[in-house]
Structure 1
Amino acid sequence: MANETNTLGKSEWHIMEKLWESAPRTYVQLCHELKENPGWSRSTVQTMLERMTEKGILRYEVVGRAKQYYPNVARDDVAVAETRSLLDRAFEGSASLMMSTLVRKNQLTKEDIDELYAILEQAEVDS
Structure 2
Amino acid sequence: MPDRPRLTDRELDAMSILWKHGSGTVNEVREQFPDDLAYTTVLWLLQTLEEKGFVRREKEGRAHRYFPAIEQEEASGGALSRIVDRVFHGSAEMLLAQLVKERDLPARELERMRDLLDRRLAEEEDA
Q: Same fold (TM over 0.5)?
A: yes
1:81 matched to which residue of 2?
78
Distance in 1 of aligned mates of 2:31 and 2:40: 12
Relative contact order (C-alpha < 8 Å, sep 6+): which is higher? 1
Aligned in 2, Cα 1:117/1:2: closer, same or farther, shift over 3 Å? closer
Q: Tell me whether 1:4 sits opposite 2:1 in the alignment.
A: no
Q: Which moved more, 1:105-114 or 1:50-59?
A: 105-114
Distance in 2 of aligned mates of 1:73 and 1:106: 32
Aligned in 2, Cα 1:72/1:115: closer, same or farther, shift over 3 Å? same
Distance in 2 of aligned mates of 1:30 and 1:60: 13
Structure 1's unaligned 5+ residue stretches are: none
TM-score, length-scaled by structure 2: 0.74
Query: Counterpart of 1:4 in 2: which secondary structure?
Result: coil
Structure 2's unaligned 5+ residue stretches are: none
Give 1:118 shift. Answer: 1.4
TM-score, length-scaled by structure 1: 0.74
Confirm or deny: 8 A CA contact 2:22 2:68 kept in the other structure: yes
Give 1:79 shift. Answer: 1.5
Query: Counterpart of 1:68 in 2: which secondary structure?
Result: strand
Identity %: 22
Aligned in 2, Cα 1:17/1:78: closer, same or farther, shift over 3 Å? same
Structure 1 counterpart of 2:40, one-letter code? S
Structure 2 counterpart of 1:46, one-letter code? L
Aligned in 2, Cα 1:19/1:87: closer, same or farther, shift over 3 Å? same
Aligned in 2, Cα 1:109/1:28: closer, same or farther, shift over 3 Å? closer
Give the superposed CA RMSD: 2.9
2:102 matched to which residue of 1?
107
Aligned in 2, Cα 1:17/1:120: closer, same or farther, shift over 3 Å? same
2:52 matched to which residue of 1?
55
